[in-house]
């Protein structure tokens, strides 16, 4: 079968399965999640063996070590996948929840019902644990899903898919409720993102280049995350110790994550006192500093930033620093150079905090907290399928509710439109 025919058959099967899973009771969905966990646990050896051959191939091809680290499975990581499944079982089922809007002048009774989106396509890197995370959230939200992991993880994903199928069958759900694309051919992605008849939304995860390419080619709506050029602005009225602690946490807690701070703005009045201390603290963490002229005068060891630094997501131990005249200048800088992901202010002045919250156009806006909190678990969503930097449908961390929509429900007793 050629790729196009294969992806059409996958899409058609997903659409059919979505009609079943959409109205499956919570107990059935939870039973399926539990069965998937049991079958995955039982298939550990097969999964690890498949992963070993993915790893061997990746090493032979000299792929970079970060990719190989994300690709690798071990007993601990499989335990974490099982733990993730248990957590999704514990989450409240969002489906079927009614919001009463009330009787309208015509006499009709209006409400909204939360329902699944339908068929979700997820395209992600060679991280086999995402297969289980994404599958479990889609299932719990009543969606059928089509999962397409990176080509380097093909054998690991097929082994995981076998466990998923057995789990679905044990719960009496169609196998096509969760499908893992079985070919590493990239043409499968091109097909998936144009299957408007069968797929309702695409969620790509991965590098910015990949996501931009998918967005450019997709005909199916896309919920996407581009970059995370997150800022902290230290206001002139900030508590200095708190400001330094937050900046260190936001920059150094983890470097490769989208909610790490990449750029620090400092009020002109507090800068002379703050920056030398903050500079020492950053340099002791071996963070390379790239600053404006004023910053370079205040921090020995900072090098001059170029214009492109202000819009760069380093994803590493590098930080750009700029001294700004005031709060307005900070807000203007963030709205110009930021990526609308997560930005924070450190201040003891509540009016300034509120101004910042109102004016900064980002999916998460924070006061006196580390940008690292922009995360589905930290926000109590239980898990996240991704973080959206788009403005429609879902913004910021996307959990179960982001995988649903609402339909209007009207009850009448014979009303006609006049």
Cβ 211 to a copy of itself, closest distance in Å?
12
Cβ-contact 406, 116 below 8 angstroms: no
The mark string for 319-348 relative to a copy of itself (x by CB under 8 A, - otherwise) is ----------------x--------x----
Which one of the spans 55-63, 147-155, 265-273, 400-408 is the region binding a copy of itself (CB under 8 A)? Answer: 400-408
Q: Which of 141, 230, 246, 285 binds a copy of itself (CB under 8 A)?
A: 246
96 touches a copy of itself (CB under 8 A): yes
160 touches a copy of itself (CB under 8 A): no
* Interface positions, 29-88, toward a copy of itself (CB under 8 A): none
Cβ 250 to a copy of itself, closest distance in Å?
8
Cβ-contact 184, 154 below 8 angstroms: yes
- Name the strand (E) or helix (H) holding 178: strand 178-180
- CA 180 to chain centroid: 19
284 touches a copy of itself (CB under 8 A): no
Give the angle 151-154-158 at the CA atoms, nearest 5°. 150
- Laid out side by side, the sheet with 318-324 consists of 303-304, 288-291, 318-324, 261-267, 230-234, 342-346
Long-range contacts of 186-189 (CB under 8 A, 24+ apart): 186/151, 187/3, 187/4, 188/3, 188/6, 188/7, 188/148, 189/123, 189/148, 189/214
User: Which is closer to a copy of itself, CB of 62 or CB of 380?
Assistant: 380
* Nearest residue to 82 via CA among 42, 121, 25, 53: 42
Cβ 152 to a copy of itself, closest distance in Å?
29
| Phi, psi of 3, rounded to the nearest 5 degrees | -60, -40
> Token pair for residue 229?
């050029």
Cβ 289 to a copy of itself, closest distance in Å?
20
Q: Which of 60, 62, 307, 392 binds a copy of itself (CB under 8 A)?
A: 392
User: Which is closer to a copy of itself, CB of 42 or CB of 411?
Assistant: 411
d(CA 401, CA 384) in angstroms, rounded, equals 10
Please give the full DSSP string across 236-269, using - where no structure is assigned. Answer: TTS-HHHHHHHHHHHHHS-SSSTTSEEEEEEETT
315 touches a copy of itself (CB under 8 A): no
Cβ 41 to a copy of itself, closest distance in Å?
28
In the DSSP assignment, the letter for residue 148 is: E
308 touches a copy of itself (CB under 8 A): no
Bridge partners of 232, per DSSP, are 264, 344
Which one of the spans 27-35, 175-183, 227-235, 374-382 is the region binding a copy of itself (CB under 8 A)? Answer: 374-382
Q: Which of 185, 237, 239, 313 binds a copy of itself (CB under 8 A)?
A: 239
User: Which is closer to a copy of itself, CB of 63 or CB of 242?
Assistant: 242
370 touches a copy of itself (CB under 8 A): yes
Q: Which residues bind a copy of itself (CB under 8 A)?
A: 19, 22-23, 96, 101, 104, 106, 108, 110, 113, 115, 117-118, 200-201, 215-216, 219, 221-223, 239, 242, 245-246, 249, 253, 335, 344, 353, 357-359, 361-370, 372-374, 378-380, 390-393, 395-397, 405-417
């Amino acid at each position: 079968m050629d790729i196009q025919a294969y992806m059409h058959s996958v899409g058609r099967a997903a659409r059919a399965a979505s009609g079943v899973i959409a109205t499956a009771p919570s107990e059935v969905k939870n039973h399926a999640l539990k069965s998937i966990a049991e079958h995955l646990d039982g298939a550990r050896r097969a999964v690890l063996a498949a992963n070993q051959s993915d790893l061997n191939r990746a090493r032979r091809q000299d792929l970079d070590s970060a990719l190989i680290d994300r690709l690798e499975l071990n007993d601990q990581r499989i335990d974490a996948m099982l733990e993730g499944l248990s957590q999704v079982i514990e989450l409240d089922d969002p489906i079927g929840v009614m919001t009463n809007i009330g009787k309208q002048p015509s006499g009709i009774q209006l409400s909204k019902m939360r329902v699944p989106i339908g068929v979700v396509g997820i395209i992600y890197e060679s991280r086999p644990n995402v297969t289980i995370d994404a599958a479990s959230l889609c299932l719990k939200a009543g969606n059928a899903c089509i999962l397409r992991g990176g080509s380097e993880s093909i054998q690991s994903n097929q082994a995981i898919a076998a466990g998923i199928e057995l789990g679905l069958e044990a719960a009496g759900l169609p196998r096509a409720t969760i499908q893992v694309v079985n070919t590493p051919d990239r043409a499968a992605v091109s097909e998936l993102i144009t299957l408007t008849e069968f797929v309702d939304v695409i969620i790509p995860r991965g590098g910015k280049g990949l996501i931009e390419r998918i967005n450019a080619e997709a005909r199916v709506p896309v919920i996407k995350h581009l970059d995370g050029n997150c800022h902290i602005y230290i206001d002139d009225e900030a508590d200095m110790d708190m400001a330094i602690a937050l900046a260190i946490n936001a920059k150094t807690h983890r470097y490769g994550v989208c909610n790490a701070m990449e750029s620090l703005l400092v009020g002109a009045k507090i800068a002379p006192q703050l920056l030398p201390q903050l500079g020492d603290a950053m340099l002791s963490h071996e963070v390379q500093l790239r600053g404006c002229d004023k910053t370079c005068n205040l921090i020995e060891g900072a090098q001059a930033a170029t214009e492109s630094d202000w819009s760069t997501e380093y994803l590493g131990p590098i930080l750009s620093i700029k001294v700004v005249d005031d709060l307005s200048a900070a807000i203007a800088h963030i709205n110009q150079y930021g990526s609308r992901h997560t930005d924070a202010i450190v201040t003891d002045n509540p009016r300034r905090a509120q101004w910042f919250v109102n004016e900064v156009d980002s999916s998460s806006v924070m006061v006196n907290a580390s940008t690292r909190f922009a995360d589905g678990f930290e926000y109590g969503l239980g898990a996240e399928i991704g973080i959206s930097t788009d403005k429609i449908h879902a913004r910021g961390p996307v959990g179960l509710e982001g995988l649903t929509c609402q339909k209007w429900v009207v009850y009448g007793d014979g009303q006609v439109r006049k």
